[in-house]
């Protein structure tokens, strides 16, 4: 086992897959000489050259379209969005092209591409740099959406995403890049369509993903001291949802809280709740509670920014209130 930073876990995944498969290449702004805005591609330019670590102009729609074309011809592009919010400029290429070409070509083309990069609410990055694009893309057919949350799952999931024959949106949270974790020295891959059972419990199910996993873990320290026994699920796969894991937990605890950083209206939490109500309504002892960000552009002011997203103390309060409910 070797202690590895989050961004280095991603770098290792890319390096290993590029060494394994000559069809894998990286493109994006400053991914080459500069090594990526968060150093995920550091030194890979010197190792693989400019044709496989390709610095692009500031033109997300153009280089995303180019990547779709490259994937159609059998290459495996990895797009790095310097900030995932910039990829709104490539929404058409991702949704109408990458997401649909396998279907509209009658299966004649596969689109094996990964679109990855930093997103989420950082520390005073302002509204345009604090986007949570998973909610924008969840309605697009043909895409897989993954949100990594630890160095271990970041590496294993990225390797699987690179090998997948479908377009994968791979979300990394901007505040997780310096997390450390011991990683296996041997190669490992993780499934793109499975949630992770972070903690088993019996009182209540807490469903979360990305950075909010760590807010939930902070809340757990307080909850455990108070005698609560929550079950915690990290979704990881946002599209498709791993409803086998979710359903088994709901049948056990009968109470559910969804904790997310995306906005409340039409967020991932809304889809999770709708799915639970559709399939497991009779298993619920109380309505599913949703803890989400406020529906406003993220303020630059640090104190206001903190108020827009869910904090550990709010999770503790919500669990206490829901567990106290008696049927």
Encode 172-183: b = buried (16+ Cβ within 10 Å), e = exposed.
Answer: bbbbbbebebeb
| H helices present in 166-311, as ranges | 212-225, 243-253, 268-280, 302-308
Catalytic residue status for 60: yes
Output the six-digit token pair for 106.
């009658």
Tokens of 322: 């829901």
Catalytic residue of the set 12, 129, 134, 260: 129
- The residue count for the chain: 327
Residue 52 gets which letter from DSSP? T
Find the largest Cα–Cα distance for the chain.
Answer: 64
Token couple for 100: 């649909």
Identified catalytic residue from 60, 80, 172, 305: 60
* Phi, psi dihedral angles at 108 (to 5 degrees): -70, -25
Burial (CB < 10 A; 0-12, 13-18, 19+), residue 2, is exposed
Structure tokens, 171 = 């979300």
Residues identified as active-site: 60, 129
């Amino acid at each position: 086992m070797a202690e590895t930073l989050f961004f280095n876990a991603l770098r290792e995944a890319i390096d290993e897959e590029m060494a394994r498969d000559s069809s894998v290449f990286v493109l994006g702004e400053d991914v080459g000489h500069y090594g990526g805005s968060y150093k995920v591609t550091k030194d890979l330019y010197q190792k693989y050259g400019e044709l496989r670590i390709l610095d692009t102009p500031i033109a997300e729609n153009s280089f995303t379209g180019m990547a779709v074309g490259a994937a159609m011809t059998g290459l495996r592009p990895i797009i790095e969005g310097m900030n995932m919010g910039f990829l709104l400029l490539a929404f058409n290429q991702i949704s109408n092209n990458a997401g649909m070409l396998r279907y509209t070509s009658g299966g004649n083309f596969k689109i094996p591409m990964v679109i990855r990069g930093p997103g989420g609410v950082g520390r005073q990055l302002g509204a345009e740099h604090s986007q949570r694009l998973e909610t924008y893309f969840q309605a697009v057919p043909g895409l897989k959406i993954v949100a990594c949350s630890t160095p271990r799952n970041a590496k294993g999931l990225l390797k699987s995403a690179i090998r997948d024959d479908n377009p994968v949106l791979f979300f990394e949270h901007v505040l997780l890049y310096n997390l450390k974790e011991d990683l296996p020295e041997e190669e490992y891959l993780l499934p793109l369509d499975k949630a992770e059972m972070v903690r088993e419990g019996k009182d209540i199910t807490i469903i979360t993903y990305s950075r909010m996993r760590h807010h939930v873990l902070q809340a757990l320290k307080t909850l455990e001291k108070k005698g609560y026994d929550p079950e915690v699920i990290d979704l990881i796969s946002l599209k498709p949802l791993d409803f086998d894991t979710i359903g088994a937990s709901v049948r056990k605890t009968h109470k559910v809280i969804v904790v997310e950083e995306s906005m409340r209206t039409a967020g991932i939490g809304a889809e999770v709740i709708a799915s639970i109500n559709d399939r497991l309504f009779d298993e619920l002892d109380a309505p599913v509670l949703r803890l989400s960000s406020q529906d406003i552009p993220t303020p630059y002011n640090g104190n206001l920014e903190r108020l827009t997203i869910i904090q550990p103390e709010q999770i503790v309060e919500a669990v206490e209130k829901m567990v106290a409910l008696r049927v």
